[in-house]
Structure 1
Amino acid sequence: MELESLPDDVVASIEVRDRWRRASAGGGLEFLVTDIARWPLGYTVRVGFLDGDEQLHADIAGATAQITDACNLKLDFGHDEATGTFRRWTTADTSFAADIRVSFDMQGYFSLIGTDSTDGTIGAGGGPVGGNPGQRSLNLGRYAVNRPAQWEGTVRHEFLHALGFHHSHQNMRGTCEGEFRWDDDASYEPTTNADGVFVADAQGRRPGIYTYLAGEPNRWPRAKVDHNLRTEEDPDVVAGPFDPQSVMLYRFPSFFYKSTPSSCAPTGNGQSLSDGDKRGLNLLYPHTAHEVAGLQDRAAAVLRSIGAGTEGLPSSNGGYLGEAYRSRVAALAAAQAAGAH
């Protein structure tokens, strides 16, 4: 089983940026990160494709309809009805042809979170993935060659990342931290199959998550396992209820869990958005004036929590957090005055 993962250099640049935010903001970190990663309310997010044919593009656009039906945001795939074509981007681009830049040519599945897709500090080293015009921000590996079964669920999972969602198994309100079998069974003898995957030894003792993911095809060091699977125990984090039906919850092999059935295991079909997913979308991108007012109050609270005065606070990419948040509050106030639909 190969797990979804961004390239190491991209993860490193995100962690540097987030450490700076944490040090600057103090309390209210999750509000800060959420509001920066969220696309503007009512925004039309342009999506483009690097490779793949028109039928694949049409199918992916269709699979995202569940997402945009649930929130005040539009995904624009640049469909030209006259030609049947969709928006494309290239690795030579120096200006943004698309906000979300989809590819099918790299190994595995991954997506940057929300507006990280257009943050030039992410992947600034010039690698294939990052927030710059000629870099991939979302990948669906080998879809152009051989789409997997239940491919629609993976599309929705990755596009929810692209709109600001994180994995449900890292929700501090869930049970996954305590339910995961992090370590090997006692006296486990490291044993691999012909593909280099760690398996149970001759006595039936099983590898733990750290050992298993250190083998093929993931080859993850312990720190990368922690980044992708561990729950962040932070009293400032605000999360919705753990949702076992969410498409953002991984379907792990049974040996990942201490109990069967596990309270951390998904109960949904992995294909369609859960009611919880839809509530989360409406929280980030609300429809009604009342909900927009709540979002405005949240943004104003963040502005107060970071102590952003008239001079603002310098951000990781040379801007000013205070200025950014004042702008966000003003935009939300304008949306409320206009009346959200």
Structure 2
Amino acid sequence: MTAFKKLLLSQGVCLAILASAIPASAEPLINGKETMPAKYIQRIMAGMKGLQNMDNSDSAKGLYSKLVVWPPSYAKLRVCFMGGSDQVNAAVAKVASTWNQVADLSLKLDFGKMNSPRRCDPNGRESQIRVSYDQPGYWSQLGQNSVVYTAQNEASLNLQDFDKASNPKMLMQGELKGTILHEFGHAFGLLHEHQSPVATCANEFNWDFIVKYLKGPPNNWDEDTIRFNLAPYGGEDLMMTDFDPSSIMLYSFPAEYYLKGPQSNCYIGQSNVDISAADKATVEYMYSADVAARVKNFEQARAQLAQIVKTAEAAGTKAVSMNYDEAFFGAKGVAADEE
């Protein structure tokens, strides 16, 4: 795609996916589950329902999906840590800062002091990405959902047990490194590559096996949930490239997930651990170094939403659950020279 995929009101938000585990000798063990806490899911779905009630057309869904993109008032995203030693947090920050090396990018990650990264202070200045290690799984809010649907005393990105690494340097290599890059990719607004509409993965999946497997423990998913997390996204995309088997947003699934096993075009033997060229091109498109282009796209989207709200008010279908303009377009942001 590479996967900046828009949120679709008809499907909800991408919340969970089964991933392959790293060898048992490595620590901390990636436990194979990327799932967001239920309380976050409920908030996001309530917000999305309000949008859908105002206008559920394809063009409106296209607009809604852009709401996860950080506004141009953000020249950087302040990242803080809710736990972990300075050594562990510094290792995570160093890996995640790989995103800052994307050349033509007007949005950067800011960790404070790299050797002793910023600690979260819910009573202090807003931090857009708040990293924890004590919740199940590894997951991230998508883009600016992290400040719209989660409070400053709540994590927006979790890396379960990464703080227990016996040597923080192990977080900077292999699948642990890849997981950090993957979750920070979500924090920028990227979604999973295997669900790209231009991918062939859905036709290559062994759905009978997948459904039977994921209906059982520990997932216990119903079939709708399974297909939502594995089937292709629908609708329009902000940007969609050819299927990228090298994307950091592509997971490695067991060969049993595919009808042709390892011969499947979508099969990769292990999860990618580096940002691909297409990943870089996608975030450069989303957060162009041409700030004027970011501002223009932002203002157009804000005007579109205002028209939807105006029409919904006249029809008596205006959402009352939240002020969407203020939530997604009213942020003060963070200037490049702010600490």
TM-score range, shorter chain: 0.7 to 0.9
Measured in 2, the distance between the counterparts of 1:154 and 1:294 equals 33
Superposition deviation, residue 51 in structure 1: 1.0
Question: Structure 2 CA distance, aligned partners of 1:6 and 1:316?
Answer: 25
Deviation of residue 49 (structure 1)? 0.6
Q: Which runs of 5+ in 2 are unaligned?
A: 1-19, 21-31, 333-339
Paired position in structure 2 for 1:13: 43
Deviations 1:265-303 (A, max 9, x none): 248961111111011101110012675477358637845
Counterparts of 1:325 and 1:11 in 2: how far apart (Å)?
Answer: 18
Match of 1:108 in 2: 137
**What letter corresponds to residue 39 of structure 1 in structure 2?**
W
- CA distance in 1 between partners of 2:41 and 2:252 (Å): 23
Name the structure where helix makes up a greater proportion of residues: 2
1:278 lines up with 2:257 in the alignment: no
Matched residue, 1:55: 87
- 1:151 paired with 2:152, answer no
Task: Confirm or deny: 8 A CA contact 2:142 2:189 kept in the other structure.
Answer: yes
Per the alignment, residue 231 of structure 1 pairs with 232
Provide, for residues 41-99 of structure 1, a one-character-per-residue CA deviation record: whole Å limited to 9, x for no partner.
2522111111111111111111122212222112111217xxx4221126xx3565521
For 1:238 and 1:113, locate their aligned partners in 2 and report how far apart those are by CA, in whole Å.
15
Q: Aligned residue for 2:199?
A: 174
**What does the per-residue CA deviation read over 1:288-322, in whole Å, with 9 as the maximum and x for residues that have no partner?**
2675477358637845873757x89955653154x
Question: 1:248 aligned to 2:249?
Answer: yes
Task: State the distance in 2 between where 1:230 and 1:279 align.
Answer: 24
Deviation string, structure 1 residues 125-154 (Cα, Å, up to 9, x no partner) = xxxxxx111111100011011366431111
Query: 1:125 corresponds to which residue?
Result: none
Superposed, 1:60-75 pairs within 5 Å as 60-70=92-102, 71-75=105-109
Contact 1:17–1:316 under 8 Å retained in 2? no
Flag the 1:217–1:89 CA change in 2: closer, same or farther, 3 A.
Answer: same
**What code does the residue aligned with 1:175 have?**
T
Q: 1:252 to 1:14 in 2, by over 3 A?
A: same
Deviation at 1:5, TM superposition (A): 1.2
Identical pairs, percent: 30
Q: Distance in 1 between matches of 2:270 and 2:278?
A: 11
Correspondence for 1:27 among 58, 64, 86: 58
Structure 1 position 85 matched with structure 2 position 102: no
The answer on whether the counterparts of 2:251 and 2:271 sit within 8 Å (CA) in structure 1 is: no
Query: Is 1:138 matched up with 2:151?
Result: no
SS of 2:139's equivalent? strand
- Structure number with greater Rg is 1
Q: Distance in 1 between matches of 2:270 and 2:240?
A: 17
Cα contact 1:175–1:264 (8 A) shared by 2: yes
Deviation at 1:18, TM superposition (A): 1.9
Give the alignment's Cα RMSD to 1 decimal. 3.3
Pick from 45, 61, 71: which aligns with 1:40? 71
Distance 2:123 2:303 in 1: 36
For the residues of structure 1 that align with 2:277 and 2:320, how far apart are their CA atoms? Answer: 35
CA–CA separation in structure 2 for the residues paired with 1:67 and 1:317: 34
Give the partner amino acid of 2:240. G
Q: Distance in 2 between matches of 1:222 and 1:246?
A: 27
Amino acid at match of 2:113: H
Rounded to whole Å, the distance in 2 between the matches of 1:316 and 1:261 is 51
8 Å Cα contact 1:34-1:164 kept in structure 2? no
Contact 1:213-1:219 at 8 Å conserved across structures: yes
Q: Which stretches in structure 1 are left out of the alignment for 5+ residues?
A: 123-130, 184-207, 332-341
Amino acid in structure 1 at the alignment position of 2:143: G
Shift of 1:15: 2.4
Q: Partners of 1:306 and 1:230 in 2: how far apart?
A: 29
- CA distance change for structure 1 residues 320 and 60 in 2, over 3 Å: closer, same or farther? closer
Q: Which residue, out of 299, 304, 318, partners 2:322?
A: 318
How many residue pairs were aligned? 289
C-alpha distance in structure 2 between counterparts of 1:255 and 1:48, whole Å? 39
SS of equivalent residue, structure 1 residue 247: coil
Cα distance change on mapping 1:4 and 1:325 into 2, 3 Å = closer
Question: Which residue identity lines up with residue 308 of structure 2 in the other structure?
Answer: I
